Structure 1
Amino acid sequence: MAESGILLVDKPQGITSHDVVAKSRRARGTRKVGHAGTLDPMATGLLLVGVQDATRLLTYIVGLGKTYSATIRLGQTTTTDDADGDVRESTDVSAIDHAAILAGIAKLTGEISQVPSTVSAIKVDGKRAYDRVRAGEEVVLKARDVTISRFDVIDVRCDENTIDVDVEVDCSSGTYIRALARDLGADLGVGGHLTRLRRTHIGLFDVADAVTIDGLEDAPLLTPAEVASTVLGGVQVTEELARDLRHGKRVDAPHRFEGARAAIDPAGRLVGIVERRGATMKSTMNMPEHQENDR
């Protein structure tokens, strides 16, 4: 059986997140592979890939905050809000200065309402928005509330026709950096799109620890216990409590905690995800008792 765990992958430019999953399936010898948090083909950086039983943890990873490094080009709009699309319109940027850029970014920092790009992977009546756009349909997506906790300007480069702004962004799950580029350009009256995007962090997971596509076969996996403890925090349980939790019983909680926690047995294996109610706790998601990554 293939080992269970999470792969940290540094996705290269030019392939889809699904391509990474397909390559991971071949490399790890199992079809039970999934990922948490899609990256567009143009984007590079951190993609978390679950293998075997660890795919059950992906739902807890998807909602983690993200950090991106990106380049926004002001003065041009494109059909996709990024460099993969065709240029729609070019506008003179000579009146835009550094102060105006910072003021525009300030408006897009904090809790904001954002309309995702029409070529996003959001489903509209069961079909991806980008598929509907490619089929010639007019797509109107609903605005969503997101949080931009950091939107820093790293560098600004100007030429006769455009301004490139290098930025770093800390944001909540569900944020579209392409939409930030589009909206910054719209606010400044010159249009904008994304020319570079790299995801550097998902929660506490760092792209510096990720492997390349060529390293998928031999890369060590983070165990389910390691990942769940990092994401949710861990609670140690006895062998007896572990057995009862696996059988669906409500048990006494070893100590007080709020929200969900990873229950870890004496052997260091993930029993499951538990939630506390009063002085007791119960598993809301169980892992198999005999895991392929037992150490």
Structure 2
Amino acid sequence: MSAPRTDRPAPPPRRPTAPDGLLVVDKPAGWTSHDVVGRVRRLAGTRKVGHAGTLDPMATGVLVLGVGRATKLLTYVVGADKEYRATVRLGVTTTTDDAEGEVVARADASGVVRAALDAEVARLTGDILQAPSAVSAIKVDGKRAYARVRAGEQVELAARPVTVSRFDVHDARTVAPGTAGLPDDVPAALDLDVTVVCSSGTYVRALARDLGAALGVGGHLTALRRTRVGGYALEGAVTLEEAEAQADRDEVLATVPLADAARATFPVRDLTDAESVALSYGQWVAASGAAGTTAAMAPDGTLVALVEDTRRGGADLARPVLVLAPA
């Protein structure tokens, strides 16, 4: 039996555990959302890290992560509306509806006129039914759709209602063969720079696919940058390098405190001391008078709970749906 090795390098010391809160990261291209979670777990000194809403590896921009107790807030952040800047290439269809897939069809898109483009964009704005991309993370019989596609299966996902609040085309430019990554021997394409604001569950690459199909030339997404998730914008995001530098400098990773994180996502209700105690025990209190979820704050500014108004015993009351400061 060989002797155990003694020359292995010592593992790096574990970092101090970061305080409960959110971290808004500017995700780099080529990273999966899970990659970012893994990196932040090391920076935060805890495995209790999650994210609110997956970004594809090719996409960049706002990825909201929860650390510690803030992971419980992510369920509510996921449902917030999102804003994207994107580039759509008309005239090229791919297997994944984005630039990472194989090209399956080409068509000359140089003849697409602006009036027709604007009409189809308008049809894709508002409350619509959208079939997600086949390579999405949606589960089909317990298995991710993209895994089934990679295994050679044909996957067709049912259309679902989504809301596209904005679909603005800022620029449209013809891409000649041999330029901007287009081969020399193919038809001309048309690139669109767009802004999309949409509900949770909307696929921007599916918008590119459907726009191209409606115009008869096909389409896919060549660039995607998420600029906002609910109240968390790109201006408040940090790169992973910046987060690591800050954690090294201050010896602990900084996070957005629970109360500040909630204020950026929900309407706020100020509690009395008695209401704070009641909610900390999971008891119901007087109604907030606001639709949806409300952040209930103690007099000292602490986030006590998230509450929702409901009817009980003939009276309107606020019930705690998530208690963050238990008794």
- TM-score normalised to structure 2 length: 0.85
Query: Is the counterpart of residue 259 in structure 1 residue 286 in structure 2?
Result: no
| Alpha-carbon separation, structure 1, partners of 2:78 and 2:239 | 21
Corresponding residue number in structure 1 for 2:207: 180
| Alpha-carbon separation, structure 1, partners of 2:208 and 2:197 | 14
Corresponding residue number in structure 1 for 2:9: none
| Alpha-carbon separation, structure 1, partners of 2:233 and 2:265 | 13
| Alpha-carbon separation, structure 2, partners of 1:171 and 1:251 | 34
Selected match of 1:280 from 303, 309, 317: 317
Give deviations 1:107-157, integer Å, cap 9, x for gaps: 111111110100001111111100010011111101011111111111111
Corresponding residue number in structure 2 for 1:23: 39
**Deviation for aligned residue 1:96:** 1.3
**Deviation for aligned residue 1:242:** 1.5
**Deviation for aligned residue 1:229:** 2.5
| Alpha-carbon separation, structure 1, partners of 2:304 and 2:165 | 34
- For the pair shown, the structure with the greater C-alpha radius of gyration is 2
**Deviation for aligned residue 1:256:** 3.5
**Deviation for aligned residue 1:257:** 3.3
Aligned length: 289
**Deviation for aligned residue 1:223:** 1.3
**Deviation for aligned residue 1:289:** 4.2
Corresponding residue number in structure 2 for 1:36: 52
| Alpha-carbon separation, structure 2, partners of 1:123 and 1:228 | 30
**Which of 139-148 and 222-231 deviates more?**
222-231
Query: Is the counterpart of residue 167 in structure 1 residue 194 in structure 2?
Result: yes
Paired amino acid for 1:12: P
Secondary structure of the equivalent of 1:232? coil
Paired amino acid for 1:263: A
| Alpha-carbon separation, structure 2, partners of 1:246 and 1:88 | 57
8 Å CA contact 2:93–2:219 kept in 1: the answer is yes
| Alpha-carbon separation, structure 1, partners of 2:205 and 2:162 | 14
**Which of 111-120 and 274-283 deviates more?**
274-283
| Alpha-carbon separation, structure 1, partners of 2:20 and 2:296 | 17
Check 1:275–1:107 CA distance in 2 against 1; reply closer, same or farther (3 A cut).
closer
- 1:167-246 matches, cutoff 5 A: 167-217=194-244, 218=246, 220-246=254-280
8 Å CA contact 2:18–2:254 kept in 1: the answer is no
| Alpha-carbon separation, structure 2, partners of 1:169 and 1:125 | 31
Corresponding residue number in structure 2 for 1:133: 149
**Which of 105-114 and 65-74 deviates more?**
105-114
| Alpha-carbon separation, structure 2, partners of 1:183 and 1:235 | 42
| Alpha-carbon separation, structure 1, partners of 2:319 and 2:91 | 55
Corresponding residue number in structure 2 for 1:271: 304
**Deviation for aligned residue 1:261:** 1.2
Corresponding residue number in structure 1 for 2:184: none
| Alpha-carbon separation, structure 2, partners of 1:288 and 1:163 | 53
| Alpha-carbon separation, structure 2, partners of 1:244 and 1:171 | 37
Secondary structure of the equivalent of 2:265? helix
**Deviation for aligned residue 1:220:** 3.1
What is the CA RMSD across the aligned residues, in angstroms? 1.6
8 Å CA contact 2:110–2:190 kept in 1: the answer is no
8 Å CA contact 1:181–1:192 kept in 2: the answer is yes
Check 1:80–1:263 CA distance in 2 against 1; reply closer, same or farther (3 A cut).
same
Selected match of 1:50 from 66, 78, 96: 66
- TM-score normalised to structure 1 length: 0.93
Structure 2: any 5+ residue segments left out of the alignment?
A: 1-16, 177-187, 247-252
**Deviation for aligned residue 1:226:** 1.5
**Deviation for aligned residue 1:102:** 1.4
Structure 1: any 5+ residue segments left out of the alignment?
A: 291-295
